[in-house]
Amino acid sequence: MNKEYRVAVVGATGMVGQTFIQVLQDRNFPISKITFFASKRSAGSTVFFRGLDYVVEELTESSFDQCFDFALFSAGGETSLKFAPIAANKGVVVIDNSSAWRMKDNIKLVVPEVNSHVLKKGDLIIANPNCSTIQSVVPLQVIHELFTVKRVIYSTYQAVSGSGYKGVMDLKNGYEHKAPEFYKKQIFDNCFPHIDDFLDSGYTKEEKKMMDETKKIMGLPNLLVSATCVRIPVTVGHSVSMNVECEKPIDLIQLSKAFDANSNIVFYEGTHYPTPLDVAGNDLVHVGRLRKDLSTENGIHLWAVADNIRKGAATNAIQIAEYLIKENLV
Ligand code: A2P
């Protein structure tokens, strides 16, 4: 009989937490026991999983005294910094969706299609990357393997669900002409180049995450990366316009065939292209608008769209767990 695993979902009442629940069901993840945690605020509420109601428990320092194999965390950076080590000390494999651990030297930052090979038995805290970064490095790795990527410039168009329920409510309330409660500016009928806090460099933290995380995931510390991240009034689905410069001359036909043959990518040829509405609820990265950048040698443009809560968060984390199981690393 195939082995089944004991799973904790931390942040179960949040947007990504709810999607963990959906994706675990959709992908038929092998589970013998599952427990849902949130803060005191939601303790006692119920979540529905595989036909049963489960009572949400308050996350405390003794939560991991119950035995678990995996803990899927999406409860913010502070919660991860405090509770991931407590879980790891009990031998639980934590896959953490916050940015708290991503850039720490001894922590693996993983997009399975790109760098699952870095995972080893005994990795107890594994970081799930930033949403826009995940969907960008999947096609970027294909380009890199063929033509050696030298420089990439990202411009993102990010959905409000990236901010959780608070972002979605600001957009919905905007339809009724109510003032925003979460964002500093109105998102309804608007967009703004401001995601997360501003840094002294003039970049935002979101942009810095994309720049740093791309290099770490691809194992290319000297890659030239820049980003502008923009919030747009879309509920689900981030889009990224990618301008990529390579060392080698680019054969567009060869690259199109590589995208087409890649089971993690849905490739749109010619004048077809993906939009956020096309990808909602889907686990793949959708790529279109592939063309030469006529302003430089060995440059291309492409457009990558994915469900930011699934492939950009919950699905990627669960794919990491699936890889560990498949390779007998847990
Ligand atoms: P709660 O419902 O109790 O606030 P989102 O990213 O969509 O805002 O969701 C955040 C998730 O993290 C929610 O499930 C939230 O639970 C949970 N959370 C926030 N703070 C804590 C905490 N200190 N301990 C456990 N869970 C937390």
Pairing of strands 238-246, 149-158: antiparallel
Q: Mapping DSSP to helix (H, G, I), strand (E, B) and coil, where does residue 10 land?
A: strand
Q: How far apart are CA 138 and CA 284, in angstroms?
A: 10
Average pLDDT of the chain, as a whole number: 97
What confidence category does residue 89 fall into, taking pLDDT thresholds of 50, 70 and 90?
Answer: very high
Q: What is the DSSP letter of 310?
A: I
C-alpha 74 – ligand 1 centre gap (Å): 8
pLDDT digit string, tens, across residues 172-217: 999 999 999 999 999 999 999 999 999 999 999 999 999 999 999 9
Residue nearest to atom 19 of ligand 1 (CA): 75
What pLDDT was estimated at residue 235? 98
Cβ–ligand 1 contact at 39 (below 6 Å): yes
Cβ–ligand 1 contact at 13 (below 6 Å): yes
What pLDDT was estimated at residue 114? 98
C-alpha 11 – ligand 1 centre gap (Å): 5
- Which of 20, 46, 79 should be mutated for ligand 1, with most atoms under 8 A from CB? 79
Give Cβ neighbours of residue 124 (< 8 Å, ≥ 6 apart): 87, 88, 91, 92, 93, 94
Domains of the chain by start residue, with CATH: 5-128+313-326 (3.40.50.720), 132-308 (3.30.360.10)
Cβ–ligand 1 contact at 38 (below 6 Å): yes
Task: Assess whether pLDDT exceeds 90 at residue 1.
Answer: no
Q: Is 131 a catalytic residue?
A: yes
C-alpha 35 – ligand 1 centre gap (Å): 15
Residue nearest to atom 5 of ligand 1 (CA): 14
Q: Catalytic: which of 131, 144, 246, 286?
A: 131
What pLDDT was estimated at residue 220? 98
Q: How far apart are CA 190 and CA 218, in angstroms?
A: 34
pLDDT digit string, tens, across residues 115-143: 999 999 999 999 999 999 999 999 999 99
Cβ–ligand 1 contact at 12 (below 6 Å): yes
C-alpha 40 – ligand 1 centre gap (Å): 9
Cβ–ligand 1 contact at 164 (below 6 Å): yes
Name the token pair of 320: 């990491």
Give the predicted TM-score (pTM) of the model.
0.97
What pLDDT was estimated at residue 2? 84
C-alpha 84 – ligand 1 centre gap (Å): 14
From the number of C-beta atoms within 10 Å of its C-beta (0-12, 13-18, 19+), residue 139 rates as: buried
Instruction: Count the helices and strands in the chain (H runs, E runs).
Output: 9, 15
What confidence category does residue 302 fall into, taking pLDDT thresholds of 50, 70 and 90?
Answer: very high
Name the token pair of 289: 């608008």
